[in-house]
Amino acid sequence: MDLSHSLRLIAAEELLSVSGLILLLASAWAGDKASRAISIAAVAALAAAAFLTAPALCGGLFGPETEAFGGQFRADAFASFAKLLIYASAGVALIVAPAYFERLRAMRAEYPVLILFAAIGMGMMVSAGDLLTLYIGLELNSLAAYVLAAFLRNDTRSAEAGLKYFVLGALASGILLFGMSLTYGFTGTTSFAGIRAALEGGLSTGALFGIVFMLAGLAFKISAVPFHMWTPDVYEGAPTPVTTFFATAPKVAALALTMRVALDAFGSQADAWRQIVIFTSLASIVIGALGAIGQANIKRLLAYSSINNVGFMLIGLAAATPRGASAMLVYLAIYVAMSIGGFVAVLMLRDAEGEPVEAIADIAGLSRTRPLIAAALAMVMFSLAGIPPLFGFWGKFVVFQAAVQAGLVPLAAIGIAASVIGAFYYLKVVKVMYFDEPADKVTGRSDLAHGILLALSALFISPLGYLLTRFLGQLADTAAAALFHAA
């Protein structure tokens, strides 16, 4: 594997790094008035990176041909699938931001640059073939994310969110590092393939601790119970465009990374970690659902909803089969669309002065004052609850199907029964919007770009989405096959 081949494989990352650096210089010289232009350039860079990444997915690439730098980096179909979702989410986070920040006069040119750097880090996470790549990618993403959470410098909630995110994120990184060091110590290697080969023979207690700590660290990043506490606070405090970003791209990256670690590095010891994943998944479903019930702020509610959804995705991981991995990817794609729809709808809720409306009580009777936003938000809610014929049902469907096919019928049965608890609070939002008398709070005008994004995601999660099931299923199958082939 010569260097030029390796460099070709990381073309998307190179492109993003170079454009990130150039845009950083541009922002330093041109200042904040150029932030719109820089945002547009950043979106273009993400789109170009997506074009560079897509062929690996369409071609279903995997194996040694896709490994760069001696197996440290894998540009296979799986990484490509995840990266496309990440780039799309990052692009959305860029598109929705200006309208929000400009009203507060807080739109700064660093925002798009930080998003770009985070995207590079996430791309490295999902392409990791080695514990070192994993950690570098994770930290690159996290450092950008800490700053983004605290982006509204004058807003105490935002600063608090940034600090919380940083402290807890650093703790999680420490736990992860500790797990990595144990794993390295007991297997003698940092490469996923090496760890897998070393664990094939059996699992020593030390290595088991390594697995447990690594999964705990990753559970922080995907905000799975019992490491979820930071999520509602950070989601509520961070500026809404940043929350949109947090709920989508880093989730995709962390989940894809978890899949790589669990199914590839620890793939030969699936029985050892399955119990942990099952516990985490059911706990996330139940606590995500129960925690959401009392929430009065819609961003907090969506934060709990994301915890709840991660629980469902982990059911696919517990299956530890290619079908399970494929199901998780399908769910991720649908989840990203639902989250974007939900947060963009929240972004569009403004009162007469243009201040954001976030209290659930304030959107009472929205169906009469802003019928289109209300309809889209209701679709998102029913979809998140997994009620057919909305597309969110399909995500749950494939995940449960994978679990049943892997013989985990009781897990599937408990998980789906617990999904009814979640339905309760999703219904509450619909009830407030449709059944209650109008509160006439949401009267402000909303941005056109937001409207278009909301319409697109609503279209995707509408029953028309089912027409995509074959296409999406094929892509996810290809990606999952690449993951298992690498293993």
Name the residues that contact other proteins, by CB under 8 A.
Answer: 367-368, 382, 387-389, 393, 397-398, 400-401, 404-405, 409, 412-413, 416-417, 419-420, 423-424, 427, 430-431, 434-435, 466-467, 469-470, 472-474
CB-nearer residue toward other proteins: 253 or 412: 412
| Contact present, 217 and 172 (Cβ < 8 Å) | yes
CA–CA dist 379, 426 (Å, integer): 10
CB-nearer residue toward other proteins: 105 or 470: 470
| Contact present, 173 and 138 (Cβ < 8 Å) | yes
- Tell me 66's DSSP state: G
Helices (H), 406-468: 409-434, 448-461
CB of 378 to other proteins, least distance (A): 9
Collapsing DSSP to helix, strand or coil, 31 comes out as coil
Distances (CA, A) of 307 to 22, 159, 223: 36, 23, 6
CB-nearer residue toward other proteins: 174 or 407: 407
Taking the CB of residue 5, how many other CB atoms lie within 10 A of it? 12
CB-nearer residue toward other proteins: 181 or 469: 469
Q: Which of 344, 163, 121, 153 is CA-nearest to residue 252?
A: 121
CB of 369 to other proteins, least distance (A): 13
- Whether omega before 112 lies within 30 degrees of 0, making that bond cis, reads no
| Contact present, 322 and 382 (Cβ < 8 Å) | no
CA–CA dist 175, 215 (Å, integer): 9
Q: Count H helices, E strands: the chain?
A: 20, 2
CB of 416 to other proteins, least distance (A): 4
CB of 475 to other proteins, least distance (A): 11
DSSP 215-258: HHHHHHHTT-TTS-THHHHHHHHS-HHHHHHHHHHHHHHHHHHH
CB-nearer residue toward other proteins: 337 or 398: 398
CB-nearer residue toward other proteins: 296 or 420: 420
Query: Beta partners for 130?
Result: 191
Consecutive H or E run containing 150: none
Q: Which of 460, 453, 348 is CA-nearest to residue 95?
A: 453
The owner of tokens 């799975």 is: 224
Task: Please name the residues in contact with 189: beta carbons below 8 A apart, sequence gap of 6 or more.
Answer: 195, 198
CB of 64 to other proteins, least distance (A): 31
CB of 230 to other proteins, least distance (A): 30
CB-nearer residue toward other proteins: 417 or 452: 417
Helices (H), 150-229: 156-187, 192-200, 205-221
CB-nearer residue toward other proteins: 420 or 452: 420
CB of 53 to other proteins, least distance (A): 23
Task: Please name the residues in contact with 279: beta carbons below 8 A apart, sequence gap of 6 or more.
Answer: none
CB of 394 to other proteins, least distance (A): 9
CB of 47 to other proteins, least distance (A): 27
CB-nearer residue toward other proteins: 387 or 449: 387
- Tell me 68's DSSP state: E
CA–CA dist 382, 304 (Å, integer): 15
CB-nearer residue toward other proteins: 69 or 397: 397
CB-nearer residue toward other proteins: 128 or 399: 399
Distances (CA, A) of 257 to 55, 125, 301, 454: 21, 6, 26, 28
CB of 439 to other proteins, least distance (A): 16
CB-nearer residue toward other proteins: 284 or 419: 419
CB of 275 to other proteins, least distance (A): 21
CB of 438 to other proteins, least distance (A): 12
Collapsing DSSP to helix, strand or coil, 105 comes out as coil
Query: Beta partners for 191?
Result: 130
